Amino acid sequence: MIIILKPDVTPESPEYQVLMKYLSQFEGVRTHIAEYQGITRKVVEIHLIGDTRKVPVEVIQSLPGVEKAIRISAKYRQIGRHGDLEPIGFDYKGLHFDQNSFHVFVGLCAVDTKENTEAIFKALKENGIRTARMGAYKPRTSPYDFQGHGKECLPWLFELAGKYDIAVIAMEVLAPHHIEEIWEALEKTGHPTGVMLQIGTRNAQNFELLKAVGNQQEFPVLYKRGMGLTIEESLNACEYIASEGNHNIIFCLRGVRTHLGEPHRNLVDFGHVPVIKRLTKLPVCVDPSHPIGSRVKAPDGIRDIYHVAAQGVIAGANMVLVEFHPVPEKALCDGPQALYLEELPCFMEYINQAREAYLNMKDIVARHTMQMMAPKP
C-alpha cells in the first residue's frame, strides 16, 4: 500500500505522528518513506511493506494529513504508476526531467582528446544545448580495445564542461568506485557541471552496481535496458535502484540483440516507449546510435539514425542520447555510428520538429477524445 501525504504534511507534523501511531498496530508491516521533489511541490509517500491485507484503506484515507491511500498489487512498488497520480519527476542542476519534458544529450561515445571534447562542448553551446554524453569508462568486448581514459580525464573534462555551460553529462559507470572517482573530480574542480550516472546495457543486471547507484542521492541515473532482457527484468533492475533510495531514474531504450535486427547492430525497440510510460513514473530516453551502428542513409537522404530517433520521439520519448564526433574516422570507440559535428544543427532541427509533431498529435487525440465523449444532442 502507498499512502500519499497532503502537500503541507511533513514527518514533523502532528498528523504524521497520528498516522504512524495507527500503522504501528499492524504486526509485520514496515514503513518506508519516499520523498519526491517536483517543480511546484514536494510529495511525501509512505510505502507499507509486508502483509498489508489487514490495513484498511478506507480508515487510512480518512486520517488527517492523508491525501490518498492506494493498495498496490503491482510489482513495481517504487517506480510503478499507482492510481491516476501524475508522476512529478525530478530536478537536477536546474533542469527538470519527467514524462513530459524533453532533452537531447549529445556527445562522444568515448572521451579521447581535449580538442575533440572542447569542439563538442563548443558546438553544444552554439546550439543552445546544455546536456552532453561523455564516456570515460568504456565496457569493451575486447580487453585490447581502448577502455576509456577513466578518472584521469575527469578534472579537465568537467572544467571544459563548465566553460561551455554544460549542466549535465551522462557518463557510464562500470563499478561502484567510479561513482566516488566522479564525486572526487567534481569536488576538486568546484562542481562546474553535473553528472547523470549511466548503467550500460552490459551491466543491466549487475545488482551490486545497481544498489550502489541507488544508494546515493547526489546523481540521477540513466538506466539502459539490458540488450537481452525482457522489459520486466529491466524494470525490476530499476526497482533495485529505487528501493535503495534513489528515485531519480530515467529508463533508456537502446535496442535489443537478435539477428532479426540485421543489418542494424540491434533491433530497435522504441515501440516500448509508451509501455514504460504506462507501467512506470520514469521519463523515457531513446538511444538511436547503438541499435543502428552506422551512418547509413535511406534513399530519402535521411540517415537510419535520424529515422529511428524520430520514431522514438514520436512515440513520446523524453530524452534522446546520441553520439557525435568531430572526426568520426578517428574515434577510438563506435566511430562508424558517430554523427558529424557539422550536422548538429540539422539533427536538432529535425528532432525538434519530431517533438513538435508528437505534441500536435497528442492534441489531436485529446480533441477527438473530448468530442467523442461529449453528450450527443
Residue 235 binding ligand PEP, by CB under 6 A: no
Instruction: Give the residue among 147, 203, 177 at the shortest CA–CA distance from 185.
Output: 177
Residue 305 binding ligand PEP, by CB under 6 A: no
Residue 169 binding ligand PEP, by CB under 6 A: no
Residue 109 binding Mn ion, by CB under 5 A: yes
Instruction: Give the residue among 295, 277, 365, 373 at the shortest CA–CA distance from 331.
Output: 295
Of the candidate spans 51-59, 195-203, 271-279, 311-319, the one that interacts with ligand PEP by CB under 6 A turns out to be 195-203
Q: Mask 307-336, x = binds Mn ion (CB under 5 A)?
A: ---------------------------x--
Count CB-CB contacts under 10 A for residue 151: 16
Closest approach of ligand PEP to the CB of residue 168, in Å:
15
The burial class, CB within 10 Å (0-12 / 13-18 / 19+), for 107 is buried
Residue 172 binding Mn ion, by CB under 5 A: no
Name the residue nearer to ligand PEP (CB basis): 3 or 273: 273
Name the residue nearer to ligand PEP (CB basis): 171 or 242: 171
Question: What does the DSSP assignment read for 109-144?
Answer: SS---HHHHHHHHHHHHHTT--EEEE-SS---SSTT
Instruction: Give me the torsion for CA of 111, 112, 117, 119, rounded to 10°.
Output: -140
Closest approach of Mn ion to the CB of residue 290, in Å:
6
The partner in contact with residue 283, picked from ligand PEP, Mn ion, none with C-beta cut-offs of 5 to 8 angstroms by kind, is none
- Cα dihedral 240, 242, 248, 251 sign: positive
Count CB-CB contacts under 10 A for residue 116: 17
Strands, sheet with 2-5, edge to edge from the N-terminal-most edge strand: 29-37, 42-50, 2-5, 66-70
The partner in contact with residue 224, picked from ligand PEP, Mn ion, none with C-beta cut-offs of 5 to 8 angstroms by kind, is ligand PEP
The partner in contact with residue 272, picked from Mn ion, ligand PEP, none with C-beta cut-offs of 5 to 8 angstroms by kind, is none
DSSP state of 85: P
Residues 123-142 that bind ligand PEP (CB under 6 A): 135
Name the residue nearer to ligand PEP (CB basis): 45 or 334: 334
Question: What does the DSSP assignment read for 169-235?
Answer: EEEE-SSHHHHHHHHHHHHHHT--SEEEEEEPGGGTT-HHHHHHHHT-SSS-EEEEPPTT--HHHHH
- Compute the distance between CA of residue 276 and CA of residue 175 in angstroms, rounded to an integer: 26
**β-pair partners for 29:** 50
The partner in contact with residue 148, picked from Mn ion, ligand PEP, none with C-beta cut-offs of 5 to 8 angstroms by kind, is none
Residue 172 binding ligand PEP, by CB under 6 A: yes
Instruction: Give the residue among 265, 271, 239 at the shortest CA–CA distance from 253.
Output: 271
The partner in contact with residue 200, picked from Mn ion, ligand PEP, none with C-beta cut-offs of 5 to 8 angstroms by kind, is ligand PEP
Residue 304 binding ligand PEP, by CB under 6 A: no
Name the residue nearer to ligand PEP (CB basis): 239 or 287: 287
Residues 283-302 that bind ligand PEP (CB under 6 A): 287, 290
Residue 287 binding Mn ion, by CB under 5 A: no
Residue 45 binding ligand PEP, by CB under 6 A: no
* Chain residues in the site for Mn ion (CB under 5 A): 109, 334
* Chain residues in the site for ligand PEP (CB under 6 A): 109, 135, 172, 200-202, 224, 254, 287, 290
